[in-house]
Amino acid sequence: MPATTNFLPYNPSAANQEADAAYVADSMRSGGAGSGALCPSATFNKLEYQNAIMISALAQMLKAKGYSTTDGTTPFADTPPVAGAQTALAGVLANIMTAADMGAFLSSVGYASVLAMPGYIKFPSQLGGFIIQWAQTAQYYPHALLGGTIIDTGSPAGWKISFPTACLAAFASTNWAGTDNTCQAMWQIQTYSASGFAALFQQISGLLSASNKSWATVIGIGY
């Protein structure tokens, strides 16, 4: 059954109602009606127009998203109808997400993250369920240079979590700590899988020591 609503604008033609400037300056708007005072029709019409236009716009928005809203009078929900209608409307309005709902919602659609090293971000299934992970190798500093280069394959390292299906790509960036700018080294990915990776270290020139060392930061993308 299509969603419906019976919340409608009041005085949609804005007949006989105060303009904005007059409403802003109206002492009854700012101070309320005094005891026994009469509310001018133009003031009342402006008040009810603003209330109804906002409520009906909210009701139309909910209707467009498949939620029905009614004040309980068509048909009568109970006698008087207000109790049943209020309960039903509260249930419908609970579907409006607030900041307080965001954490539970993201968890329910599969979002998760660990913002540390190593860590990852797992996107919701509605966004493909992609996972981006990052990790680091151990710091590496050989003390001698053999034949101009040293190529060493580190032990395969694990991701923070295994990719449920596959790791699609992995990239390594070279990190450097030290003061000897004559040293040259680089890292690259040798192999990668859903559960881990192996990074390849190549020393090109110079000597690495405890004060001149290198390591890789590795990024993996999968699902």
Residues in the chain: 223
Q: What fold, for 106-222?
A: Immunoglobulin-like (2.60.40)
Within 10 A of 201 (CB to CB), how many other CB atoms are there? 24
11-20, 27-36, 80-89, 137-146: segment of lowest average pLDDT: 137-146
Give me the mean pLDDT over the 149-168 stretch: 77
Q: Which tops the pLDDT comparison, 36 or 206?
A: 36
- Highest mean pLDDT range out of 155-159, 160-164, 181-185? 160-164
Under the banding of pLDDT at 50, 70 and 90, the label for residue 85 is: confident
Query: What pLDDT, on the 0 to 100 scale, is given for residue 149?
Result: 47
Amino acid of residue 4:
T
Can you give the residue ranges of every domain in the chain? 20-96, 106-222
Residue 40 has pLDDT above 60, yes or no: yes
Extended beta strands in the chain, E state: 112-114, 119-122, 131-136, 150-153, 157-158, 167-177, 184-192, 196-205, 213-222
Q: In whole angstroms, what is the distance from residue 160 CA to residue 83 CA?
A: 52
